[in-house]
Amino acid sequence: MKKILALHTGGTISMQTDNQGSVSSSSHNPMASLSTPLDTIQVVSVDFLNLPSPHIRLEHMMALYQEIKRQADEFDGFVITHGTDTLEETAYFLDTMAIPQKPIVITGAMRSSNDLGSDGVYNYLTALRVASDEKAADKGVLLVMNDEIHAAKYVTKTHTTNVSTFQTPTHGPLGLVTKREILFFKTAEPRVRFDLSEIAGTIPIIKAFADMETILLDSLNPGKLSGLVIEALGAGNLPPSILPAIHRLLAAGIPIVLVSRCFNGIAEPVYAYQGGGIQLEQEGILFVKELNAQKARIKLLIALNAGLKDQELTDYIQG
């Protein structure tokens, strides 16, 4: 019998809807007291946190990592229930830590526990099934919702309310959950992992747009910044109007990471005009190939807290 540790952190999966349609937290998490019909799994449930996911901070992600690491020898797999708004960030953070080579699954719900058609119980039980499957071991952190298995590195929330909100652009899911089987079609690529005990730093995200002014960049104090993430246009281009502000930050030693604001595709230096990706790369801006801005922020934070700098930092961010 597989022994699974379920760490509940709050979110819609644990919330209830009132008569006016408002969704809010309560002291009782229905997932923590759910009796699983899966007779091959022993589940130990812990109310680890009780937070809406917009309240999740880096310190909470670190606490989850430390708990998984502490319990690694006691359990065969782990399930984390989480609110969906920042679920992908927690999943990516954990996936970049030195997690044990055991199934680690994160799940949530788009409908609260007393909503018509609530998806929480089903997603939770499906996540337990995946976490108890040996094929899920050493694949990094997996997101399991709506009968799909996604890699933490690439998955993102794509719809505000739909139950199929979590998708993996470009790649598609790693696998599927059927009534009888857990099917994997792909394997998550190897990752560089870090064993950190704390994480800190300030890395804002700024989105590029047509006829962009420099007011946001000018308001940044380099002395209080650890780095900057820019959601660039297309394959990785910026309006020339903001280049002087970018140059000031680079001259102050601020690492700047660039991703595309596009939903699909890869950011890479292709265009040679002013503000084009080729110029940006030559000036020291780092391109992240397939992460969205929120994950690129976490990647840069982790790298800086791990002490990476100069070429080592460049190789990791752009690798």
Quick check: 288 and 267 in contact, CB under 8 A? yes
Quick check: 128 and 72 in contact, CB under 8 A? no
Q: Encoding tokens for residue 172? A: 């598609």
Could you tell me which residues come within 8 angstroms of residue 223 by beta carbon, excluding any fewer than 6 positions away?
Answer: none
* Catalytic annotation, residues: 12
Containing 6, the helix (H) or strand (E) segment is strand 2-8
Phi and psi at 196, nearest 5°, equal -105, 150
Quick check: 80 and 105 in contact, CB under 8 A? yes
With 0-12 CB in 10 A as exposed, 13-18 as middle and 19+ as buried, what is 173?
A: buried
Nearest-Å Rg of the Cα atoms of the chain is: 20
- Cα 99 to Cα 54, 67, 222: the distances in Å are 24, 10, 33
Quick check: 145 and 158 in contact, CB under 8 A? no
- Cα 277 to Cα 36, 59, 219, 285, 295: the distances in Å are 52, 34, 24, 9, 20
- Which DSSP symbol is given to 139? S
